Amino acid sequence: MLRILDARTGESVAATPARRGLTRIEARAPGPDLTSLRVLLTADLLARALELNGLQAWPTAPGQSPHLRTAAAALAVRPFEEAHGPGFAEAGAVRVTAGEVDPAAGSDGPVVAVAPVVWAGGEEPAPADLVRRADPTALRLALLCVPHGETATLDEAVLERAAGRLAGWRRDVAGWARQPSRPVPEAVRARLTEAWEDDLGMPGVLTALTAAAADPAVADGARFETFAYADRLLALELSRDLGTPG
Domains of the chain by start residue, with CATH: 3-160 (no CATH), 164-234 (1.20.120.640)
> What pLDDT is stored for residue 103 in this prediction?
65
Q: Label residue 127 exposed, middle or buried (CB < 10 Å: 0-12, 13-18, 19+).
A: buried
Question: Please, what's the b/e burial string for 104-121 (b: 16 or more CB within 10 A of its CB; e: otherwise)?
Answer: eeebebbbbbbbebebee
Q: Give the pLDDT confidence score for residue 99 in this predicted structure.
A: 80
pLDDT at residue 63 in the model:
86
Each residue's pLDDT, cut to its tens digit, for the chain (246 residues) gives 899 999 989 999 999 876 667 899 999 987 889 999 999 999 999 999 999 988 889 999 988 888 999 999 999 999 998 865 555 667 789 999 998 776 656 667 899 999 999 999 789 999 999 999 999 999 999 999 999 999 999 999 999 999 999 999 999 999 999 999 999 999 999 999 999 999 999 999 999 999 999 999 999 999 999 999 999 999 999 999 897 765
CB contact at 8 A, 28 and 39 = yes
How far, in Å, CA of 96 to CA of 41, rounded?
10
Q: Starting at the edge strand that comes first in sequence, how are the strands of the sheet with 92-98 ordered? A: 56-60, 22-27, 92-98, 111-114
pLDDT in the model for residue 88: 62
First to last CA, the chain: 40
The pLDDT, as a whole number, for residue 89 is 65
Provide the pLDDT for residue 106.
Answer: 60
Q: Give residue 95's pLDDT.
A: 93
